[in-house]
C-alpha cells in the first residue's frame, strides 16, 4: 500500500490539488449564497389575485409576477401618476 503517515509533509502536487479543491468549494459557496440572497422574480405557482390590476392590490409589495414588477418600476420612475 501507498499509505502516508499523518506527520509527513505534503508534496507540492498535493498542496496545489488541495488548494484548488478548497478554492472551488469557496466559489461554489459564494455562488450559492448569492443565488439564495436574490430577491424578486416570480415564485413557482404564483398567480395574480387581482386580475392583473396592480394599483391598490394588497399583494403588490411581495408580488414577483412580470406585470407587477413592471408596475413597480414604472411607479418608481414616476411615469404613472
Distance CA 19, CA 27 (A): 12
22-72 tens-digit pLDDT: 999 999 999 988 887 765 555 566 788 888 888 888 888 888 888 888 898
pLDDT reported for residue 27: 95
Domain-wise residue ranges, the chain: 11-39, 41-81
pTM above 0.85, yes or no: no
Amino acid at each position: 500500500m501507498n499509505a502516508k503517515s499523518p506527520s509527513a509533509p505534503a508534496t507540492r502536487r498535493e498542496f496545489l490539488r488541495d488548494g484548488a479543491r478548497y478554492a472551488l468549494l469557496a466559489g461554489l459557496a459564494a455562488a450559492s449564497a448569492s443565488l439564495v440572497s436574490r430577491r424578486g422574480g416570480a415564485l413557482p405557482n404564483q398567480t395574480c389575485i387581482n386580475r392583473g390590476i396592480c394599483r391598490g392590490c394588497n399583494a403588490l409589495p411581495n408580488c414577483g409576477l412580470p406585470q407587477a414588477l413592471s408596475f413597480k418600476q414604472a411607479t418608481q420612475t414616476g411615469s404613472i401618476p
